[in-house]
């Protein structure tokens, strides 16, 4: 291996894709069991590597020199082999600092809570110090020396202005987990979550629902990779390049989620989008039918709408919300449950396909819109919900090809 990343579990890492956009070299993901780390490090069969969980501290004894930043933090995430001598750096520091400053979050003279005690926690502590935090409190479930418990954080530090999560809580595949409840902090101004998969965590979404600015770790991941590349091959990567790669990776990983009235064209446009973008396509109604082993009208007839909505909720939560880089068409009533919207927002951009009422036909295979009166009633009830849920709201015509072009342009941020 010339360049790559070592860690214990890397199957969900984005690093290979990021490095491919930052530099022209082969970058490999190398999973190493704990009992083989020593052999790997002693062999030194690489030019440069990144290091991730759980080896950021464990690699230090094998290094010949360590940067002052890495030494202060006590964790290394970048190693360069120069003529058989190993040099260790911590580019996570610059990545996290960039995540915070580029999002306009100020730590100066603020009380900051840092969740977790691992290598990323140490990095966050160094960044908070560098950015002028007034008080830094480390929160730990194990209540190690120098930390407070989560109960104490709620009881004694509910006036914290910024929370930085460095734990894996909320990381794929356990995307429902939340390290702490942001609603219990009365002076909270910002939440910084180092987790990048999903793109928006339960913690960040709950913080936003409280009116608190919240950011997750994808920009940090890209920025630290850029600083690592600079060490790897001795080049300078400009900030504009970092932002462009971040935007590209973000769009690639986001799900394109179509919401709207029955008959607005979600399935047709979804299939066309999937073909254009070379992405998999999922239709939640089809997934529900597959799970129930019967068509939707039969589900309604046999078990009723309540049972159908429970199936829909479970399909969205367990089958489509955790996806990455997919096109998803939802049922017309999926937005009626706020939890469905919440789950879809974790990795998705929600696009409201708004067709005029007179273009929406009543059909017998849709139990809740089988008559014209039913369609009009649904339209009146659901329209404001679609608008509130949508990240992108598009008024569409009758041509599926043109409608697809408009959705694609909006998703890419292009002028319509």
Which residues, in sequence order, are CB contacts of 278 under 8 Å at separation 6+? none
The Cα-based distances of 252 to 17, 168, 246, 274 in angstroms read: 10, 23, 10, 12
For residues 189 and 105, give the distance between their C-alpha atoms in angstroms, rounded to a whole number: 9
For residues 399 and 355, give the distance between their C-alpha atoms in angstroms, rounded to a whole number: 11
Q: Which of 9, 56, 239, 266 is catalytic?
A: 56
Which contiguous run of DSSP H or E holds residue 51?
strand 48-51
For the chain, the first-to-last Cα distance in angstroms comes to: 45
For residues 217 and 209, give the distance between their C-alpha atoms in angstroms, rounded to a whole number: 19
CB 360 within 8 A of CB 386: no
Radius of gyration of the chain (CA): 24
Q: What share of the chain is helix, strand, coil (3-state, %, to 5)?
A: 45, 15, 40
- Is the sign of the CA dihedral 205, 97, 251, 89 positive or negative? negative
Q: Is 56 an annotated catalytic residue?
A: yes
For residues 115 and 138, give the distance between their C-alpha atoms in angstroms, rounded to a whole number: 6
For residues 268 and 308, give the distance between their C-alpha atoms in angstroms, rounded to a whole number: 23
Residues catalogued as catalytic: 56
């Amino acid at each position: 291996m010339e360049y790559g990343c070592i860690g214990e579990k890397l199957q969900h890492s984005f690093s290979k894709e990021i490095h491919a956009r930052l530099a022209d070299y082969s970058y490999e993901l190398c999973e190493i069991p704990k009992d083989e780390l020593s052999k790997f490090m002693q062999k030194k069969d690489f030019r440069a590597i990144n290091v991730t969980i759980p080896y950021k501290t464990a690699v230090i004894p094998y290094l010949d020199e360590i940067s002052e930043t890495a030494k202060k933090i006590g964790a290394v995430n970048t190693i360069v082999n120069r003529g058989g001598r190993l040099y260790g750096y911590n580019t996570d520091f610059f990545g996290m600092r960039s995540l915070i400053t580029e999002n306009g979050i100020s730590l100066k003279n603020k009380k900051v809570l840092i969740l977790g005690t691992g290598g990323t926690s140490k990095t966050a502590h160094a960044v908070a110090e560098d950015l002028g935090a007034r008080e830094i409190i480390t929160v730990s479930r194990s209540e190690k020396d120098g930390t407070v418990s989560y109960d104490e954080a709620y009881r004694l530090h509910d006036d914290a202005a910024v929370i930085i999560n460095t734990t894996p809580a909320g990381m794929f595949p356990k995307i429902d987990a939340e390290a702490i409840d942001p609603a219990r902090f009365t002076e909270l101004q910002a939440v910084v979550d180092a987790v990048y998969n999903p793109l928006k965590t339960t913690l960040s979404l709950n913080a936003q629902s409280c009116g608190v600015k919240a950011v997750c770790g994808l920009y940090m991941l890209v920025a630290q990779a850029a600083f690592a590349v600079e060490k790897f091959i001795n080049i300078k990567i400009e900030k504009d390049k970092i932002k462009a790669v971040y935007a590209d990776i973000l769009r690639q990983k986001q799900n394109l989620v179509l919401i709207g009235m029955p008959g607005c064209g979600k399935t047709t446009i979804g299939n066309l989008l999937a073909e254009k973008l070379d992405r998999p396509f999922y239709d939640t109604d089809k997934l529900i039918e597959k799970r129930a082993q019967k068509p939707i009208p039969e589900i309604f007839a046999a078990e009723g709408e309540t049972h159908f909505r429970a199936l829909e909720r479970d399909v969205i939560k367990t089958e489509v919300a955790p996806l990455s880089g997919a096109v998803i068409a939802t049922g017309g009533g999926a937005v009626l449950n706020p939890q469905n919207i919440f789950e879809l927002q974790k990795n998705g951009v929600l696009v409201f396909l708004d067709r005029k009422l007179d273009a929406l036909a009543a059909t017998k295979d849709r139990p809740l819109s089988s008559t014209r009166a039913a369609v009009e009633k649904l339209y009146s009830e659901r329209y404001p919900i679609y608008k509130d849920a949508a990240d992108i709201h598009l008024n569409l015509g009758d041509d599926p090809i043109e409608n697809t072009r408009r959705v694609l342009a909006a998703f890419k941020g292009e002028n319509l």
